[in-house]
Amino acid sequence: MQVITTHINADFDSLASMIAANKIYPDAKLVFPGSQERNLRYLLKIPEYKIPYLKLKEIDLSLIDLMILVDTRMADRIGDLAQALKNPGIAVHIFDHHPSHINDIHGELEVIRQVGATTTLFIQIFKEKGIKITSQEATIMALGIYEDTGCLCFSSTTPEDLYAAGYLLSQGANLNMVSDLIDRGLTTDQIELMNELLESLEIEVIKGIPVHIAIASIERYIADIAILAHKIRDIENVDCLFILVRMEDRIHFVARSRIREVDAGQIARELKGGGHHTAASATIKEMTLVQAKESLLSILRDKINSPRTAYEIMTSPVKTVNGDYSIIKTKELLNKYSINTIPVMGDQGELKGIITRQTIDKAIAHGMQNAIVTELMVSDLLTANPEMPIDKVRELMIESNQRFLPVMNEKNLVGVITKTDMLRVLHDDLSELNPSFHEKNSYEKDYHRSKNLNSLIKERLPEEIQRLLKTIGETSEELGFASYAVGGFVRDLILRVENLDIDIVVEGNGIILAEYLSHKTGARLCSHQKFATAVIILPGGFKVDIATARSEYYPKPVDLPNVEMSSIKHDLYRRDFTINTLALQLNPSHWGRLIDFFGGQRDLKDKKIRVMHSLSFVEDPTRVFRAIRFEQRYGFEIGKYTKNLILSAVKRELLSKLDGHRLFLELYQILQETDPTKSINRMREFGLLQYIHPSIQNATDLAMLIDEAKKTLTWYELLYLPEKVEKWLVYFLALTDPVKENNNLELIMNHFGLPARYQQKILYCHSACNQSTKRFYHIKINDYSSIYELLQPIPTEGLLYLMAKLDNPKSKMIISHFLTSLKKVGISLSGEDLKELGFTPGPVFKKILKECLNARLDGLVTNRNEEMEFVKKQFGHMVHGKGKSMQKKK
C-alpha cells in the first residue's frame, strides 16, 4: 500500500504538496495524520475542491510499503503514522523545504531544498516531466505557495517560488479564491485571543537581544493562531516574537524572527516542532503553561547567538602613516596596499585622524604633494570599541555618514571597519534569513549562509583529519591565535572533491603554532623564519603547511611579491581567484565557521572563475594558466571580465617577460591533470601556446595528437602494468611534436629550466620516434626480434607518444604487443653460464646473449635447456680447443 502524508497540523502547502505528489504517485492514497487548519477545512467542503482522502483510523499501518512524506521529514510530526516506518522493507520518499534536523527521517529518495514552499519543488518537477494539472489543482497549489510565503512577501521567498506562482497562474489558478481563503478576517474568538496575547506581551533581554513573549490560556480550540503571530508582530513592530497558547490539553507554540541571531526553526525543534529560521511552530504536551514558558526561556538562553561585535568584522592589523608623512609618500602607501583610506598616527602612537585617496588626489592636483598629511586629514572622528554590537556600529556609520570607522581598545587602534565590511554583514544577514543558494547539484546545499561546515566536515573528512584539525584549532586558542584551513582544501570540501592537501593560515605566529603542534603530535618540524612559514610532518608522513597571515605587493609587473605579516582578510585577498579565498575557522569557539570575504561561495555556485582585482594578471601572469586549469578541472567558465583581462595580458605580451621555469611549473600542473586536452585547447584559444613555441600555437593537428595521447595513456593505465609512466612527459612530447628542429627544442627546455636528465630523455624520444616511424612501414608484424631491437631502447613515455602519433593500426598493434608481451621477455643464460660453457669473456658475450634473446623472442627457444643447445650450435666453434665444459657436456 502506498500513502502520501504530511505533518499533523496540515496547512495549504501540505494539501497542495499531497495533491502534487499524487500526480507522480497516482496509486497512492492521501492520508492526514492529524488535524487541518480552519481555512483548509473550509476549502475541502467546497464541492469542486473536494479531495478524496483517508483518515488515519481507516488504514492498516502494517500494509504500508511506500510512504511519501511531504512538507515534513520529522517522525514526531506525523503522529501514529511513524509506527509504519518499522514495517519490514518499507520505502520512504521525501519532498520537503524545511531545514535539516538531527531527528530527520531519511529515505531512498529525498528532494529537499530550502525554497519558500514545498509545492514549489513539485512545480519544478512538473515542468521538467511535462506533467499537466487542472485549474482546480493549480489553485490549490497556488494557495500552498501564497500561504507559506506570505503572498510572496516573506524573506524566505525565493526566485523559484515566484516562477512557480507564475506557472500556476498560466495553468488557470484562481487568484480570487486564493485571496478569499488567505485573507479571511479574524473570527470573534481570534480577536479575543489576540487581545489577551497583547496584554500578556513582555520583553526578555537575552544576550543583549530583546525577545517578546506572549502567553494565553483558553478552554476551547481556536484555529490559525499563526495569523495572530503575524498581526501582533506587525502591530508591535518586534523582531522576535514567541507565542504560547494553552488550548484544551496541549500548548500551541508559534515563533517568528527577523534577525540572524535568533533561529525560530531551531527553537521550535527543541520543543519537538519544526520550521524555518524566520517562522516555526510546535505542539507541546504534558507541560503546564508556566513550565512551557520556563522551558522556552531556557532554550532561548542556550540557543540565541550573541550579537556580533565590531571585533568580529574589523580588519586588523591596520596600515597607518605617521603624521609627518608627505601627501605623495602617503599616496605611494595607498597604491602599495590597494587601500583608499589610511589612519594618521601621532608620535606616541595615538590616532590623530584619517586621510582618504580622494583628498590626496585633490591635493596633488592643487600642487600640494609635499604637504604633510596632518594638514589635510579628517580629525573629527567617531570610533568604536571591540565589544560594540554590530547594530550600534551600523547606526554610528549611517548617522555620521562615516565610511571608515576606527576600532579603539582604550587609546590603541586595533582595527578598522569600512563601508564594504558593513555591506557584507548586511548581505550575510539577509542571506541567512532568505537562503539564496539551492541544491541544484550535489554540493550546493552547503552554500547556506549559516557559514558552518561542521556537518560537511563530519561527512567528508576522515576521522584522523578531523582530529588533526581540531588539535590545530585547540592549540591556536591556547596560544591566543586564530587558525584557518584555507585555499583548495576548503574549496574542494564544498565541491565534495577529495583533497587532503591542508594549508593553515594563522593570525598570530605560524612558526610558534607549528612548534607547539610538533610537541603535541610528535611531528617533525621544518620552519622558514624569513617567510614565517613551517611544515609539520606527522609520524605517518602526512604533511601540513602552516603560514602566518600575510599581505603582499608587487614592486613591478611579473616580479615575485614582497610579503608582510597581516590579517586573514588580507591573506585571502592576495589569492588568485575568488573560489580560492574561502577559509575554514578551526578554533573551538568558531569551529567549522566558513569565512567568505570575496564571494567565493557565489562563484562556486555560479561555476565561474573570477580574479580578485583588475591587475591580477599584470602582477602575476602565471595566473592565466591557473585560471584555465581550474576552469577545465571543474567544468567552470572563466568570467567575462576575467577573460578580457587574460586577452589584455596576452596583447601586452606580459607572459613573454615571465621566468621560463615558472611558466613550465604551470604547464606541468596542467599536464598532470586527469584530462589536460581541454586545457591545451583553451590555451590555444587565448594564444598562450606561442609562449612555448610559435610552431605549437600554429600547429593545425595538435589537438588531435593530444587527444590520441590521452586515449593511449588511458589504455596503458587500464593494463595495470608494474611500470608507472610520467604522464606529463607523454603530453609534453605530444605538445612539442610540431617543433621539428632539435635546436629549437633545446632552447625551449633550457628556457623552462628542465633538468639535464629530462632534456636528454625528451631529445632522445623525439629522435628515436622519428626514426622508428620510417621503419614501421617495412617491419613485419611477427618479426618479434626486430620489433624488440627497434623499440626496447625507447622509454615507455616515448613509446606511448609514438603510439599516439602513428595513425597506422598495424603500427599501433606492434607497439601494444611490445609493451604488453615482448618487453617482459628475457633469457635464463648469463655471462657466468657462457664461461662455464668455455667461452672467453669479451664483446662476444653481448653478441651471444643478444642472439639468444632474439631466438627466444622469435620462438626458436622456450626454456633454459633449449637456450644452451642454441648457443652450442650457433657459437660452439668459438670455444677455444672445445673447452673443458664443452667436452664434459658431450
**Helix axes of 623-634 and 640-651: crossing angle, nearest 10 degrees:** 140
- CA 145 – CA 163 distance, rounded (Å): 11
Q: Is the peptide bond before 539 cis (omega within 30 degrees of 0)?
A: no
- Residue 749's identity, in one-letter code, is M
Which one, of 512, 522, 517, lies nearest residue 547 by Cα? 512
- Residue 368's identity, in one-letter code, is M
Sequence-distant (6+) residues with CB within 8 A of 135 are 171, 172, 173, 174
Q: How confident is the model at residue 341 (pLDDT cuts 50, 70, 90)?
A: very high
Element (H, E) at 494: helix 488-495
> Which set of grid coordinates corresponds to residue 625?
594558466
Say which residue, 390 or 790, is predicted with more confidence: 790
Sequence-distant (6+) residues with CB within 8 A of 775 are 790
Residue 442 pLDDT > 60: no
In the block, residue with C-alpha cell 591565535: 481
Say which residue, 489 or 722, is predicted with more confidence: 489
Q: How many CA atoms lie within 13 A of 513 on its CB side?
A: 33
- CA 613 – CA 606 distance, rounded (Å): 18
**Segment 611-628 mean pLDDT:** 90
Please tell me which of 9-23, 170-184, 234-248, 438-452 the model is most confident about, judged by mean pLDDT: 9-23
Which one, of 746, 750, 748, 742, lies nearest residue 771 by Cα? 742
Helices (H) and strands (E) in the chain, counts: 38, 30
Lowest mean pLDDT of 265-269, 391-395, 461-465, 728-732, name the range. 391-395
- Residue 429's identity, in one-letter code, is D
**Segment 403-432 mean pLDDT:** 81
- Cβ atoms of residues 286 and 300 within 8 Å: no
Sequence-distant (6+) residues with CB within 8 A of 107 are 69, 73, 91, 92, 93, 94
Confidence (pTM): 0.59
255 φ, ψ (degrees, to nearest 5): -125, 140
* DSSP-assigned beta bridge partners for residue 486: 503, 583
Tell me if residue 307 falls in helix, strand or coil: coil
* Other Cβ atoms within 10 Å of 80 Cβ, number: 12
**Segment 758-770 mean pLDDT:** 92
> Which set of grid coordinates corresponds to residue 50?
473536494
Three-class SS of 250-280: EEEEEEEECCCCCCHHHHHHHCCCEECCCEE
pLDDT of residue 883: 43
Sequence-distant (6+) residues with CB within 8 A of 826 are 853, 856
In the block, residue with C-alpha cell 504534558: 286
84 φ, ψ (degrees, to nearest 5): -70, -20
854 φ, ψ (degrees, to nearest 5): -60, -40
Which one, of 206, 202, 234, 233, lies nearest residue 216 by Cα? 202
Which one, of 628, 724, 740, lies nearest residue 684 by Cα? 628
pLDDT tens-digit map of 212-239:
999 999 888 887 788 888 888 867 878 8
Residue 448 pLDDT > 60: no
Which one, of 115, 117, 116, 119, lies nearest residue 127 by Cα? 119
**Per-residue CA distances from 298 to 204, 488, 492 (Å):** 12, 41, 39
In the block, residue with C-alpha cell 531519511: 106
pLDDT tens-digit map of 14-37:
999 999 999 999 999 999 988 887
Q: What long-range pairs does 690-699 form, CB within 8 A, spacing at least 24? A: 691/655, 691/656, 691/658, 691/663, 692/667, 692/735, 692/736, 692/748, 693/736, 693/738, 693/739, 693/744, 693/748, 695/738, 695/739, 695/740, 695/744, 696/735, 696/736, 696/738, 696/739, 698/738, 699/737, 699/738
Sequence-distant (6+) residues with CB within 8 A of 734 are 702, 705, 706, 708, 709, 801, 804, 805
**Segment 699-718 mean pLDDT:** 92
**Segment 373-381 mean pLDDT:** 89
**Segment 174-201 mean pLDDT:** 82
pLDDT of residue 326: 93
What is the overall mean pLDDT for the chain? 87
pLDDT of residue 429: 60
Phi-psi region of 525 (alpha: psi -120 to 50; beta: other; left: phi over 0): beta
* DSSP-assigned beta bridge partners for residue 404: 418
* Other Cβ atoms within 10 Å of 858 Cβ, number: 14
By CB atoms closer than 10 A (0-12, 13-18, 19+), residue 885 is: middle
DSSP string, 735-748: HTTT---HHHHHHH
- CA 13 – CA 89 distance, rounded (Å): 29
Lowest mean pLDDT of 542-556, 622-636, 738-752, name the range. 542-556
Strands 91-96 and 412-418, bridge-based pairing: unpaired
**Segment 439-449 mean pLDDT:** 35
Strand ranges inside 144-239, DSSP E: 202-206, 209-218
Three-class SS of 788-823: HHHHCCCCHHHHHHHHHHCCCHHHHHHHHHHHHCHH
Tell me if residue 108 falls in helix, strand or coil: coil
- CA 278 – CA 299 distance, rounded (Å): 17
**Segment 487-491 mean pLDDT:** 95
Specify the DSSP class assigned to residue 82: G
- CA 319 – CA 139 distance, rounded (Å): 60
Q: How confident is the model at residue 451 (pLDDT cuts 50, 70, 90)?
A: low
Lowest mean pLDDT of 201-215, 679-693, 812-826, 876-890, name the range. 876-890
- Cβ atoms of residues 417 and 315 within 8 Å: yes
- CA 533 – CA 514 distance, rounded (Å): 9
**Segment 551-557 mean pLDDT:** 58
- CA 861 – CA 827 distance, rounded (Å): 10
Specify the DSSP class assigned to residue 520: H
Say which residue, 551 or 522, is predicted with more confidence: 522
> Which set of grid coordinates corresponds to residue 814?
606492434
Lowest mean pLDDT of 153-167, 216-230, 313-327, 589-603, name the range. 216-230
Residue 437 pLDDT > 80: no
Which one, of 267, 263, 275, lies nearest residue 77 by Cα? 275
Q: How confident is the model at residue 403 (pLDDT cuts 50, 70, 90)?
A: confident
Positive or negative torsion for Cα 60, 62, 65, 69: positive
**High-pLDDT (> 70) share of the chain, %:** 94
Strand ranges inside 123-208, DSSP E: 202-206
pLDDT tens-digit map of 631-656:
999 999 999 999 999 999 999 888 98
Which one, of 743, 716, 744, lies nearest residue 729 by Cα? 716
Which one, of 506, 38, 356, 447, lies nearest residue 227 by Cα? 38
Residue 247 pLDDT > 50: yes
- Cβ atoms of residues 551 and 573 within 8 Å: yes
- CA 451 – CA 797 distance, rounded (Å): 46
Residue 439 pLDDT > 70: no
pLDDT of residue 440: 35
- Cβ atoms of residues 507 and 490 within 8 Å: no
Residue 889 pLDDT > 60: no
